[in-house]
């Protein structure tokens, strides 16, 4: 039996997902949460096999929730289920520890199959999302990272980017201003010959 927890702030969607999961073969919804804070507090005690995670949550984001849960439960499989197809959100989710990424218009049958797949070690993704991931790696295939030219502070910022930190979180973690972070990021992009945080991170991970 695959035990599933849901993190979704929309009551209707959360309840519909629970009904769908409970109707699947060998899959059960054991808990659901409307906020990331509640999920971080309670999921470690419930110990589900798979978590369905929304991104746009009231306070703590779904991406930050993923990062915290993976720290507490490294083997937990997390499947993003969101309306967003933004490239940066896809890569931030995966870098935070998510094992798959689906959009909410995914059919019920495909969602149940994805839960089984992520539980078995696969990384299910909606078609457009998978193409996005492939295209980024293809685009950077011949490029070599230039992180050896980065200053110590720039390297620290890049390391936090790889962990999925947002700019304000980086500023807080390093006790520097938001504008200082933006200035360092511009230098990082210039040195690595990239144009976004996503390209910088993907290039860094390919080193």
pLDDT of residue 142: 47
- The 8-class DSSP code of residue 153 comes to H
Rounded Cα distance between 42 and 62, Å, is 15
Cβ neighbours of residue 48 under 8 Å, at least 6 residues apart? 3, 4, 5, 30, 31, 76
Predicted local distance difference test score (pLDDT) of residue 150: 85
With a cut of 50, list the residues of the chain below it in pLDDT.
142-145
What is the token pair recorded at 160? 């936090």
Please give the pLDDT value at position 182. Answer: 86
Q: What is the pLDDT of residues 105-125, one digit of tens each?
A: 888 999 999 999 889 887 788
d(CA 198, CA 154): 16
Strand partners, 125: 101
Q: Which domains does the chain have, with CATH numbers?
A: 2-129 (3.40.50.2300), 147-205 (1.10.10.10)
- Look up the pTM and report it: 0.67
């Amino acid at each position: 039996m695959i035990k599933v927890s849901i993190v979704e702030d929309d009551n209707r969607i959360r309840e519909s997902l629970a009904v769908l999961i409970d109707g699947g073969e060998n899959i059960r919804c054991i808990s659901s949460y409307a906020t990331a804070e509640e999920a971080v507090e309670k999921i470690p005690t419930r110990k589900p096999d798979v978590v369905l995670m929304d991104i746009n949550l009231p306070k703590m984001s779904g991406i930050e929730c993923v990062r915290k849960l993976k720290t507490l439960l490294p083997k937990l499989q997390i499947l993003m289920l969101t309306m967003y197809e933004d490239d940066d959100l896809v890569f931030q989710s995966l870098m935070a520890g998510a094992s798959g990424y689906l959009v909410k218009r995914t059919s019920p049958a495909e969602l149940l199959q994805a839960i089984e797949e992520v539980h078995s070690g696969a990384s299910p993704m909606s078609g457009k999302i998978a193409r996005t991931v492939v295209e980024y790696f293809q685009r950077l295939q011949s490029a070599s990272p230039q992180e050896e030219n980065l200053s110590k502070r720039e390297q620290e910022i890049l390391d936090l980017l790889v962990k999925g930190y947002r700019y304000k979180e980086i500023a807080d973690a390093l006790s520097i201003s938001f504008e200082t972070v933006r200035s360092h990021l511009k230098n990082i992009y210039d040195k690595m010959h990239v144009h976004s945080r996503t390209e910088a991170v993907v290039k860094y991970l390919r080193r």
